[in-house]
């Protein structure tokens, strides 16, 4: 497997890998990573569909890419996915998945056309004081010391950040900035999360620093992610003959680690309560989704909180059983145990059944939520919320079956250990109605109307996700297994708990990238995997980032230590009239 960039590789089709007709594949998990692996096996590996077996513990596919109608409870979305143009492997995949609505178009085509017609732009990124705009909206409010702390983190090698937390590399001067408020609520970072992951995000998404306050860099699907992304993939794979087995718990995969190699030899599983074993050879490729952020999720309802009791879950116990066999298979305990009580664990789905709340939504977002245009363009964060509450309203209808009078709102709180501002409870203790009440209070609904609206004009389902931020637990480099561990002949790890360089977890891109790398490595597909977008290596992007990080100052006004070292008067005289001066002007630094 090798990485590439440019149209030459992107538009090419690989020749059929040698020996593929003698191979089969077993994919554990039918989330985005598992479905992507199956798709790459079919498209680029040219493996016959009936040789590909997807094993899923639930009764339906999709993993964390969900959005369902529950007959007893109503609409449920545990979360949403923010996407951007430089998810290189994601778009490489979806250019080949046919649209369900337009047979002459791909999913990428319809996504591209939609976001061209209806681009993302937030008119109300942060609110406070019951629905009022943040007075410093658009200003990153970073001091020179805070900017230096950012630069210091970026310059620190990953190996020196093992187990370090964000609040161990940043002071309150940084953590009190608007930059951190925008960044943390957009990506779900918390102060005690991994500094290593924070560094990766800074390098991966430095091209978004100029749009943090308006979210114009983001792209979104037409409907919820299940209907817009998962269903077309399932149709594509089923049409190719891929075999899906649901209600299947893979309990262990036995691996022969003798002689310096690693060969998966057996899958032990239970399907609909019946135990079975699949014997494997080196020609049987195994792709394991190790760990899951939505494993063990529970739902409450209008009058009941989501239950907090849960078992570890199949994806975690399988990873534990694998890790016992070889240290190269990672350390799951780092991610699924000792999770801080204050972590984000609760989201909610609010379905408004009339337009009682519409004026308050429209005042903040400056959009008619029934217009079909994306409403909030990502999260609206509430700065003075004890829960650090936020909400997002996607294009409506968010479900194909949604009624014209209904609006679906997703809410989440990053802090789970504090009482609310209106509801005097921790978010983990709240019923659906109480989650709705807290949201209504923060968007400016009069307090004497809140209870009636929550009870009689809305249906709110709370969801508890004990592992939702486990991607960001402080870790060492070796705690995640490599996509294909050294010496592995037929076993690969896929998804956001597998390790690939430079890319960032908690993204659709990471799921697809690990799947592509796994398939290309085990099948020796002779085509490049698109490398991670190199914004951190683009001097134009870096100059523009410096301009916005330092409050849109010209270079002569910057008071950081590096100015005295690098941009002294003599140096500026030397670049006058040169290409470097043009670059500085393009970045607004001159």
CA atoms lying within 13 Å on the CB side of residue 283: 10
Provide the CA 421 distance to its chain's centre, in angstroms: 28
Angstrom distance (rounded) from CA 587 to CA 469: 35
Helices (H), 21-131: 32-43, 88-94, 107-117
Q: Please give the structure tokens belonging to residue 433.
A: 């109605």
Contact predicate 490/26, CB 8 Å: no
Contact predicate 72/85, CB 8 Å: no
Length of the chain: 590
Helices (H), 356-489: 358-365, 432-442, 447-456
In the residue annotation, 582 being an active-site residue is answered as no
| Catalytic choice (82, 84, 295, 320) | 82
Instruction: Characterise 468 by phi-psi region: left (phi > 0), alpha (psi -120 to 50), beta (else).
Output: alpha
Q: Please give the structure tokens belonging to residue 307.
A: 């239950």
List the one residue out of 127, 131, 122, 132 whose CA is nearest residue 181. Answer: 127
Check residue 316 and report its DSSP letter: H
| Catalytic choice (201, 223, 236, 467) | 201
DSSP reduced 3-state for 471: helix
In the residue annotation, 510 being an active-site residue is answered as no
205 CB neighbour count, 10 Å cutoff: 21
Q: Please give the structure tokens belonging to residue 475.
A: 């870790």
CA atoms lying within 13 Å on the CB side of residue 214: 11
Helices (H), 462-576: 508-523, 539-549, 561-566, 569-575
Contact predicate 477/159, CB 8 Å: yes
Angstrom distance (rounded) from CA 57 to CA 246: 6
List the one residue out of 215, 132, 212 whose CA is nearest residue 384. Answer: 132
- The residues carrying an active-site annotation are 82, 201
């Amino acid at each position: 497997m090798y990485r590439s960039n440019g149209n030459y590789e992107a538009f090419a089709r690989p020749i059929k890998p040698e020996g593929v007709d003698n191979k089969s594949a077993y994919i554990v998990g039918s989330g985005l990573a598992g479905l992507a692996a199956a798709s790459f096996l079919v498209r680029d590996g040219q493996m016959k569909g009936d040789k590909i077996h997807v094993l899923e513990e639930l009764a339906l596919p999709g993993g964390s890419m969900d959005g369902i109608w529950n007959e007893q409870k109503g609409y449920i979305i545990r979360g949403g996915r923010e996407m951007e143009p430089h998810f290189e492997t994601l778009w490489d995949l979806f250019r080949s998945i046919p649209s369900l609505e337009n047979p002459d178009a791909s999913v990428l085509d319809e996504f591209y056309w939609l976001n061209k017609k209806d681009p993302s732009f937030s008119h109300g990124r942060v609110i406070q004081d019951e629905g009022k705009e943040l007075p410093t909206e658009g200003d990153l409010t970073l001091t020179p010391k805070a900017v230096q702390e950012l630069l210091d983190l970026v310059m620190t090698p990953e190996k020196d950040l093992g187990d370090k937390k964000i609040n161990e590399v940043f002071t309150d001067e940084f953590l009190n900035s608007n930059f951190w408020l925008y960044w943390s609520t957009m990506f779900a970072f918390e102060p005690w999360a991994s500094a290593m992951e924070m560094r990766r995000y800074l390098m991966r998404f430095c091209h978004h620093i100029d749009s943090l306050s308006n979210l114009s860099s983001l792209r979104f699907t037409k409907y919820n992610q299940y209907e817009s992304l998962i269903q077309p993939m399932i149709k594509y794979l089923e049409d190719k003959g891929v075999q899906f087995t649901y209600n299947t718990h893979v309990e262990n995969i036995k691996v022969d680690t003798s002689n310096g190699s690693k060969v998966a030899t057996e899958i032990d599983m239970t399907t609909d309560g019946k135990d079975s074993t699949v014997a494997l050879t080196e020609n049987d490729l195994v792709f394991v989704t190790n760990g899951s952020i939505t494993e063990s999720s529970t739902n409450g309802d209008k009058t009941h909180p989501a239950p907090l009791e849960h078992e570890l879950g199949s994806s975690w116990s399988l990873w534990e059983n694998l890790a016992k066999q070889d240290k190269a298979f990672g350390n799951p305990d780092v991610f699924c145990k000792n999770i801080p009580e204050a972590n984000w664990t609760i989201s909610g789905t609010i379905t408004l059944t009339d337009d009682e709340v519409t004026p308050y939504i429209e005042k903040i977002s400056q959009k008619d939520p029934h217009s079909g245009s994306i409403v909030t363009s990502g999260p609206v964060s509430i700065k003075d919320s004890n829960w650090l509450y936020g909400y997002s309203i996607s294009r409506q209808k968010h479900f194909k079956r949604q009624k014209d009078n209904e609006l679906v709102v997703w809410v989440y709180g990053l802090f789970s250990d504090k009482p609310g501002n209106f509801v005097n409870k921790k978010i983990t203790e709240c019923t659906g109605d109480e989650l709705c009440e807290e949201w209504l209070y923060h968007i400016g609904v009069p307090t004497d109307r809140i209870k009636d609206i929550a009870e009689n004009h809305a249906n709110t389902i709370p969801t508890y996700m004990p592992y939702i931020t486990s991607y960001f637990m402080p870790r060492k480099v070796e705690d995640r297994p490599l996509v294909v561990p050294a010496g592995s002949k037929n076993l690969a790890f896929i998804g956001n708990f597998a390790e690939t360089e430079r890319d960032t977890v908690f993204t659709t891109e990471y799921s697809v990238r690990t799947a592509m790398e796994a398939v290309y490595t085990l099948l020796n597909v002779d085509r490049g995997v698109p490398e991670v977008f190199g914004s951190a290596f683009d001097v134009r992007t870096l100059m523009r980032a410096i301009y916005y990080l330092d409050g849109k100052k010209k270079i002569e006004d910057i008071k950081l230590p590096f100015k005295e070292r690098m941009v002294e008067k003599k140096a500026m005289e030397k670049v006058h009239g040169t290409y470097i001066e043009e670059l500085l002007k393009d970045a607004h630094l001159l």
